[in-house]
Amino acid sequence: MNNIYGFTREKLETYFLSIEEKKFKALQVFEWLYEKKISNVEEWTNLKKEIREKIKEDFSFAMPKIIRKERDTLTRKYLFELEDQNYIEAVVMYHDYGISLCVSSQVGCNMGCQFCESGRLKKVRNLETFEMVSQILAIESDIGDRISSVVLMGIGEPLDNYENVLAFIRIINDAKGLALGIRHITLSTSGLVPKIYDLMKENIQINLAISLHAPNDEIRNKIMKVNQVYNISQLIRAIKDYIAYTNRRVTIEYVMLKGINDNKNCAEELASLLSHMNVYVNLIPYNETNHIHLYKSDKETISNFCAVLKNRGINVTIRKEFGGKISAACGQLRSKEVEK
C-alpha cells in the first residue's frame, strides 16, 4: 500500500484523475496533511465520504516511530524505528536564526568515509520519500514548533537515493506542503559527479554542499572511498559547471582531522584549489566517536587553518559545534541501537 506522505502534489493529482475525480482534490489533501496537520481522513470534511473511503482503502498514513531522544543545550537527537525494524536518526539544532533539522536519506551508507560512523554500518536500503517527510512531521509535533530549514546530511548519501530525495524536496518545498523555502533546503553529497550534473539540470535552487575534506587525491583517497571513483579534479570540474549553470554558490565542507588534513600546507593547497570559485568553506570540528580512531583538530589549529584561507581570499567559516554530549555525530545513535 502506498504511503500518502510519499506523494508529491503532482503525483496525487494523477491519482485523483485515475479515479475520475478532479485533480484539485490533491490540493485539499495537502492542506489537511501539511497545513492543518490532520491525518484522520474522517475529519476531511470538504471531501465526499466516498472519496474519503477510497483514500483510506488506497493509502497508508503510517509514520516511523520515535523510540529514543537525547538532548543537549542547543541540540536534540532522535532515533526512529521504521516499519521493517531498521533504525534511522535525525538531529534538531537551535540557531539564532531558527530551527534546523538534519534528516537521514538511507538506512546505513555505502560511501565508507573513514571518519563517519554512518558508513561503518553498511547501507541496508534507501529511505522511501514518506520516511524522510515523516522525520520532519514527527519532530515538529514533538517539539511543538516549526522547522525552518532542512539539511540532507544525516545517515546516507542523498544522491544515491536520487528520485526519493527529489520527491522529498518537492513535498517540503510545496507552498501547500511544508512550505519550506527552497533556499532553506541543503543537500550534502560526498561527490557523486554524474548525479551532481543530474541535479544541476533539475532547476531547483537548493543549497548544494560538497563534502570535500581534503585538498588533494592522496589524502582524500585515504579517508573517502568515493574519491577513487570520482577524483578531486572531476569533482572540482562538476562544481564549476554547477555554479556556472545554476548561478548558485556552493558550500565546501571540510572536517578538521588532527594530523590528517589540518596543517598549513593543506590550507594553502585548499586555497589554491578553490581560488576564484563562487564557494564558501565550512570548517567542521570533528565529532569523535568510540569506534573510529580519528581525532578532532585543536581550536588553535582550526583557527590557523581558517586564517590561511581568509588571507588567500577564500570565504570561510568555522561551524559551531553541536551535540558533542549526546551522540550527535552522524550514525552514532543508530549504531548503538544496532549493536545492542
Distances in Å between the alpha carbon of 147 and those of 98, 106, 136, 164, 185? 8, 21, 7, 20, 11
CATH code, 2-60? 1.10.150.530
Instruction: Check if the beta carbon of residue 151 is closer than 8 Å to that of residue 102.
Output: yes
Is the overall model pTM greater than 0.85, yes or no?
A: yes
CATH topology identical between 2-60 and 65-339: no
Close Cβ partners of 81 (under 8 Å, ≥ 6 residues apart): 64, 65, 67, 87
pLDDT at site 321: 72
- Cell 490532520 sits at which residue? 38
Catalytic choice (70, 89, 117, 253): 89
Distance of alpha carbon 35 from alpha carbon 29, whole angstroms: 10
- In the residue annotation, 113 being an active-site residue is answered as no
Residue 89 annotated in active site: yes
Q: What pLDDT is attached to residue 323?
A: 55
User: Could you tell me whether strands 87-95 and 98-102 are parallel, antiparallel, or unpaired per DSSP bridges?
Assistant: antiparallel
Residue 339: predicted pLDDT: 47
- Taking only the tens of pLDDT, the chain with its 340 residues reads 899 999 999 999 999 999 999 999 999 999 999 999 999 999 999 999 999 999 999 999 999 999 999 998 899 999 999 999 999 999 999 999 999 999 999 999 999 898 887 666 789 999 999 999 999 999 999 999 999 999 999 999 999 999 999 999 999 999 999 999 999 999 999 999 999 999 999 989 999 999 999 999 999 999 999 999 999 999 999 999 999 999 999 999 999 999 999 999 999 999 999 999 999 999 999 988 877 888 999 999 999 999 999 999 999 999 887 655 545 455 455 555 444 5
Class of domain 65-339: alpha beta
Break the chain into its structural domains and give their ranges: 2-60, 65-339
pLDDT at residue 330, as a whole number: 52
Q: Which set of grid coordinates corresponds to residue 144?
A: 511543538
Q: Show Cβ contacts of residue 222 under 8 Å, excluding neighbours closer than 6 positions.
A: 114, 260
Q: Please tell me the predicted confidence (pLDDT) of residue 329.
A: 52
pLDDT, position 324: 56
What is the predicted pLDDT for the residue at 106? Answer: 97
> Which H helix or E strand runs over 261?
none
User: Which residue of the set 113, 116, 306, 330 is catalytic?
Assistant: 330
